[in-house]
Chain A
Amino acid sequence: MSVVVRDETAIELQKDEIGRAPLILGDKQTFSTVTDTVAGMTEKKPPKAWPLLLGLAFSVLMILGASLTRLVGWGTGTWGLNHPVGWAWDITGFVFWIGIGHAGTLISAILFLFRQKWRTSINRAAEAMTIFAVMAAGVYPAFHVGRVWLLYWVFPVPNQMQVWPNFKSPLLWDVFAVSTYMTVSILFWYVGLVPDLATLRDRATTKTKQMVLGIFALGWRGSHRHWLNYEKAYLILAGLSTPLVLSVHTIVSFDFAVSVIPGWHTTIFPPYFVAGAVFSGFAMVMTLMIIVRKVYNLQHIVTIRHLENMNKIMLATGSMVGYAYAMEFFIAWYSGNPYEKFTFINRAFGPYSWAYWTMVSCNVISPQFFWFKKIRTSIPIMFVLTIFINIGMWFERFVIIVTSLHRDFVPSSWGYFRPTIIDISTFVGTFGLFFFMFLLFIRFLPAIAIGEVKGVMPAADPHAHDDHGPEGDGHDAHGSDDKHDKHDDGDAEAAHG
């Protein structure tokens, strides 16, 4: 196994010209040690905790199964929904999970377009997380219709009523947005996986593994003629995913903003929802990666620099979310609309004030600690903060949905929502689904993009100084070698993309 360099001075020596730590730590790292480390995660016996965690996740997944069975058998009345709160934990859970998914796409697509090379260490796991989060999210819209066997009515397919779906409804837009998002995320993820599956195939020791991996690797042989189309496809998919991810949460926010309910009917919703989604998603990526890098000894690939960068993104998006909270209040006052004003005062000081202030303290206050480098680089503190953010972002959706509904225009139709045990068990169960899938992923598929990590190592530069030898040894692999200048990285990237 590779040597993990934690020695501060060693990291200091590897810093680049503007003082950034290297992407891959350790002076002994070569292409094959990266392969060994990542492929080893799927080939060696899993850590002792793995089967236990999988068993636990599976048990929780069974809770989801039981809850949904109850729901289908009984109807949506088994949830605590009432009049006027006809939407509560189901939609909260849906928006929560969709939001978590967005960080994966942000890391894989948007950071790719911005040429943020540090993404390579975390993008695979984050993309997987996207897919599993969207699966968990999908449970809610699929089941909250009550009669799940009629779910196909939401799609424009001929049905027994001979009527088509209402294309003017944001709920239908949502169907298209989420299913497109799921499909494109899977395609993007799989395209990224193919070269790494080929790596695993070439290392496979049993016939079965060879066959299975061989089929999914599609006979990839690393041909540069293939890479050329492949990289173009990757770039295009990133370019498609970027507006897609923004559109998905925009359309999710339309579910609310297009209605006339005070507290929902605001134009700030689309950007506010997108910022919140990225915020919550990064918190979830962090929570998971902190555990995974520790359990699988990946500290040299997922470095403190990666974690710190993610903390900075959380600080930025968390501040945007805080700004949006303030702006909602300002507009409620500035609009002069009494219903709007009532809703917001009620939100902060009404019966759900406990939820509101939980949300504010978790989402507005906790990310502000990331202004301090000491906190940004301290793993225990950031772990705790990410948990707070996960909780806070669930509360944000709950507050938006339930507090806007529970006091209708007429006081005679005021109410209070309390979850039933099935509400709670359904939500808990979706964590089972998410973690069950994630644990299987981390065990059987390359959780780090092997090829991409190699591509950002100094030795990967075809114009590295000759005397550096195959490993390369530093940051300044882009030699000052004049005769190669025309092939410098920037040129090369422009040439094929």
Chain B
Amino acid sequence: MADKRKKWEDEPEEKVSAGGDDVVAAADAHAELEAEAKKPEPKAEAAPEPKKTKAIKPAAIVAWFQTPADLYKACEALRDAGYKHFDAHTPFPVHGLEVAMGLRPSILGWIVLGGGFTGIVSAFGMQYWMSAVDYPLNISGKPLASWPAWVPIGFELTVLLSAFACFFGMWALNGLPKFFDPVMQHTSFDRASNDRFFISIEAKDAKFGKGRAMLEKLGANDIEEVLP
């Protein structure tokens, strides 16, 4: 753990020498200013000073780790300590993290099943009604309700409606689009989509008060409270 911390401390200098034009890789002090300038929300809300938090209650406490392994251990520790409302923010899905966080599997599959069922029923219903009821079409003397010929369109609409259910269902479950979230105010949160592994504990968690101490103990970097 100790030498890993050393590594990230060294990191900004390496970055600057590697590519001076890179905004993200700029030195930490610089990065703070940059991040403030880049955020779409008013500057006043970004990067609150700890003393201000007495006036307005913070929404969450946010910090970051250098590696997926550190994040994984931290999530396990929070889960074991009884935290419920905490989250990880990573540039890619860290496999198995849901186990470390104690999350339940996604229910998306059931939504898609609903979509697919709607698709197949409506496809056969539509084809039956259109070609056998509303305007019966005699094609080469075949039966009006000739279901084998309806299989291709039945299949396609099943897939189409499943895909729509999957797409919209996923964003709905995630509550997206949502263009602002308190955790985005962390000074280096722009690297959550690059190379840092963030952890956040929401204020509504019963153990939120002990959160900072907990994260400090876990060796998290830049522990910050963010306003709603």
B 132-187 contacts with A by CB, 8 A: 134-135, 137, 139-140, 142, 146, 149-150, 152-153, 155-157, 159-160, 162-164, 166-167, 169-171, 173-174, 176-181, 183-184
Residue of A203, A219, A228, A251 near B103 (CB, 8 A) is A228
Question: How many A residues are at the interface, by size bracket?
Answer: 35 or more
Indicate whether A307 reaches chain B with its CB closer than 8 angstroms. no
Determine how close the nearest CB of chain B comes to the CB of A487; give it in whole angstroms. Answer: 5
Residue from B40, B153, B178, B180 whose CB has the most chain A CB atoms within 10 Å: B153
A167-B105 contact, Cβ under 8 Å, with A230-B170, A462-B97: no
Residue of B90, B130, B173 near A229 (CB, 8 A) is B173
Interface-facing stretch out of B45-53, B65-73, B209-217, B220-228: B65-73
Per-residue CB contact flags for chain B residues 1-24 toward chain A (1 = under 8 Å, else 0) read 101100110000001000100111
Residue from A1, A32, A164, A183 whose CB has the most chain B CB atoms within 10 Å: A32
Indicate whether B101 reaches chain A with its CB closer than 8 angstroms. yes
Contact: A176 with B87, CB < 8 Å?
A: no
Contact: B193 with A183, CB < 8 Å?
A: no
A459-B178 contact, Cβ under 8 Å, with A32-B194, A454-B92: no
Indicate whether A268 reaches chain B with its CB closer than 8 angstroms. no
Interface-facing stretch out of A237-245, A287-295, A339-347, A416-424: A237-245
Contact: B153 with A224, CB < 8 Å?
A: no
Contact: A496 with B166, CB < 8 Å?
A: no
Give 9 closest A-B pairs by Cβ, nearest first: A492-B96, A31-B195, A462-B72, A233-B170, A202-B190, A218-B177, A164-B130, A232-B106, A173-B152
Chain A residues with CB under 8 Å of B38's CB are 202, 204, 210
Chain B residues with CB under 8 Å of A202's CB are 24, 38, 189-194
Please measure, in the bound complex, the distance between the C-alpha atom of A154 and the C-alpha atom of B178, giving whole angstroms: 38
Chain A residues with CB under 8 Å of B71's CB are 462
Chain A residues with CB under 8 Å of B164's CB are 187
Per-residue CB contact flags for chain A residues 437-462 toward chain B (1 = under 8 Å, else 0) read 00000000000001110110001111
A interface residue numbers (CB < 8 A to B): 1, 30-32, 35-36, 156, 162-170, 172-173, 176-177, 180, 183-184, 187-188, 191, 195, 198-199, 201-205, 210-211, 214-215, 218-233, 236-237, 240, 243-244, 247, 251, 254, 450-452, 454-455, 459-464, 466, 469-470, 487, 489, 491-493, 495-496
B interface residue numbers (CB < 8 A to A): 1, 3-4, 7-8, 15, 19, 22-25, 38, 40, 66-69, 71-72, 87-101, 103, 105-106, 108-109, 112, 126-127, 130-131, 134-135, 137, 139-140, 142, 146, 149-150, 152-153, 155-157, 159-160, 162-164, 166-167, 169-171, 173-174, 176-181, 183-184, 189-195, 198
A180-B191 contact, Cβ under 8 Å, with A163-B135, A221-B89, A492-B95: no
Contact: B156 with A180, CB < 8 Å?
A: yes
A184-B130 contact, Cβ under 8 Å, with A225-B87, A233-B170, A470-B67: no
Determine how close the nearest CB of chain B comes to the CB of A29; give it in whole angstroms. Answer: 11
Chain B residues with CB under 8 Å of A226's CB are 174, 176
Contact: B137 with A163, CB < 8 Å?
A: yes
Contact: B69 with A463, CB < 8 Å?
A: yes
Chain B residues with CB under 8 Å of A201's CB are 193
A220-B176 contact, Cβ under 8 Å, with A162-B135, A233-B108: yes
Please measure, in the bound complex, the distance between the C-alpha atom of A254 and the C-alpha atom of B15, giving whole angstroms: 57
